[in-house]
Structures are given as structure tokens and as C-alpha cells.
């Protein structure tokens, strides 16, 4: 185990060279508040600087991967925290991480949760997992990386549907579309991801690291193109009447939009 603690996270270092990061707020489907966001920014840098870590698994505690930003906490420190800076640093730190990063998606991955999963190098999911970027249903722009990674994985036309509606895509459909790597049997995703990470951890380090680096240049170019714009537009909509109404709706546990087909 690491001797450093991270707010909202569990970090386990295994003798195999694999570190397992678990998003650990299961009572609210691992929703992310600002302290947990700061911890996520830090943990990838810390593990990148640890020579004993050769591969990393990212998963969620309980029955979900991550339900996105904690709507009941997002306003708490606005004004003292630069959300655009924090968002840039989180995405940058994930992309600069040398060790392969494997997502084990064990349930819903929503908003920032979907962004975290989809910016991993390899994504495994259980059949019950679903992905959505629901920023628009909260009255804000998909500014934390969704506007970059969804079009890169799905193409602009399909991505715009999901980003403009907040619709969910199932694990099976995500795999068929090339958005994730593989759907594995229910209850096995963490074990599967760890075995895969151990395989990479035992492989030729430099070859794997630099292959990842070369491919990530493509992703970094996309992020450089639109992350700042999307983050700034998200901040413009953060205090909008639509967003305030959406948060009120969330807190009253009512649906923002009626369910629709596609």
C-alpha cells in the first residue's frame, strides 16, 4: 500500500508492478467533489514518478464507476478553485502518464466519470456498464474533456448526438463502436483489468511507454484544439438559469429531460 492518502481514492500498489486506483465514494456512485478532483490530479503525477509502478488500473467502489461531478458540492468552492485549470491539469496528467492506464468500468460512467474512463489507454467494462456525458442535462457545456474524447472515439456525428442529448450508450454498443476495448463477464472486470495490466507491466517497458507516447500525440493534439474552448464555455454556462434549474431538479430527484428514443 502507498503511504500517502488521497481524498476520495484508495490506492493499492501490488508487487506485480500494478497500482490500483479505486474511486471511493460508493454511497453516491463515486461522484467527484473538489477535494477528490484535486486528489485525482495528484495521484497520476505521483504514480508516474514511482519507478515501481509499471501499469495502473482505475475502477470504482461499489456498484458504479463514477457518476460525474457531485452536484451538491460543485458550488462549494467556486471562486477559490479554477475549474478550467483543474480540468486541464487532470487531463494533461492522465495523458502524460507513462505507465499504461487501464479502466475497469464496473457500472455507470457519467460526465467526468465517462471522461476519466475514456481517457484511459485501454477500457474494459461489465455488461451492466453504461457511458454518458450528461453535462447538457445539467445545463452546461461538456467542458471537462468530453468534447475532445467522444468525437475522437466515435466520430463527430455520433459524438454530437450523445453530447447534445446526454443519452447513455451501453457497454455492448460502446465496444461495437470502438469506443471501448471489450465487455467482460459481470463481476470480473477488475480482475480482468489487473491481469491485463500485469501482462503489460511484465513487458518491454521502453517499447510500451514510447508506443503509448506516440499514439497519445494524436489525442493531445485534439485536446489542445478544443479543451480550453470547451472548458471556458462550460464556465460561461455554470451560473446560467438553465444550470441552476438543472441542479434544483437534480436535488429534487426529478428528471431534467423526458426519456426519448434515438
- Cα three-residue angle 252-258-262, rounded to 5 degrees: 145
| Cα–Cα dist 93/197, whole Å | 19
- Considering only CA atoms, which of 184, 174, 196, 189 is closest in space to residue 60? 189
Could you give the domains of the chain? 9-189+200-205 (3.90.226.10)
CA atoms within 13 A on the CB side of 138: 25
Residue 242's pLDDT is: 83
pLDDT of residue 245: 80
Helix (H, G, I), strand (E, B) or coil at 178: coil
Instruction: Give me the tens of pLDDT residue by residue for the chain, a chain 262 residues long.
Output: 447 899 999 999 999 999 999 999 999 999 999 999 999 999 999 999 999 999 999 999 999 999 998 876 665 555 455 556 668 899 999 999 999 999 999 999 999 999 999 999 999 999 999 999 999 988 899 988 999 999 999 999 999 999 999 999 999 999 999 999 999 999 999 999 999 999 999 999 999 999 999 999 999 999 999 999 998 898 888 888 888 887 677 666 544 433 445 5
Q: Which regions of 70-222 does DSSP assign to beta strands (E)?
A: 101-105, 108-110, 122-125, 130-132, 169-170, 182-183
pTM for the model stands at 0.90
pLDDT for the residue 70 = 86
| pLDDT, tens only, 11-30 | 999 999 999 999 999 999 99
Determine the Cα–Cα distance for residues 111 and 174; give it in Å rounded to an integer. 15
Amino acid at each position: 500500500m502507498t503511504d500517502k492518502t488521497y481524498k476520495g481514492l484508495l490506492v493499492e500498489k501490488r508487487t506485480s508492478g500494478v497500482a490500483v486506483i479505486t474511486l471511493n465514494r460508493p454511497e453516491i456512485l463515486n461522484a467527484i467533489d473538489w477535494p477528490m478532483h484535486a486528489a485525482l490530479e495528484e495521484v497520476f503525477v505521483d504514480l508516474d514518478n514511482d519507478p515501481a509502478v509499471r501499469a495502473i488500473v482505475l475502477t470504482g467502489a461499489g456498484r458504479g464507476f463514477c457518476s460525474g461531478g457531485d452536484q451538491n458540492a460543485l458550488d462549494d468552492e467556486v471562486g477559490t478553485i479554477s475549474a478550467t485549470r483543474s480540468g486541464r491539469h487532470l487531463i494533461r496528467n492522465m495523458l502524460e502518464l507513462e505507465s499504461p492506464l487501464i479502466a475497469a468500468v464496473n457500472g455507470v460512467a457519467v460526465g467526468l466519470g465517462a471522461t476519466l474512463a475514456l481517457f484511459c489507454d485501454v477500457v474494459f467494462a461489465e455488461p451492466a456498464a453504461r457511458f454518458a456525458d450528461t453535462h447538457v442535462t445539467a445545463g452546461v457545456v461538456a467542458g471537462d474533456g468530453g468534447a475532445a474524447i467522444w468525437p475522437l472515439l466515435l466520430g463527430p456525428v455520433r459524438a454530437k448526438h450523445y453530447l447534445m442529448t446526454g443519452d447513455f450508450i451501453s457497454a455492448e454498443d460502446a465496444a461495437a463502436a470502438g469506443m471501448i476495448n471489450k465487455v467482460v463477464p459481470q463481476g470480473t472486470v477488475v480482475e480482468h483489468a489487473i491481469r491485463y495490466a500485469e501482462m503489460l507491466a511484465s513487458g518491454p517497458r521502453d517499447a510500451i511507454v514510447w508506443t503509448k507516447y506516440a499514439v497519445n500525440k494524436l489525442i493531445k493534439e485534439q485536446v489542445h484544439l478544443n479543451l480550453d474552448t470547451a472548458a471556458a464555455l462550460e464556465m460561461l454556462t455554470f451560473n446560467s438559469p438553465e444550470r441552476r434549474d438543472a441542479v434544483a431538479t437534480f436535488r429534487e430527484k426529478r428528471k431534467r429531460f423526458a426519456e426519448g428514443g434515438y
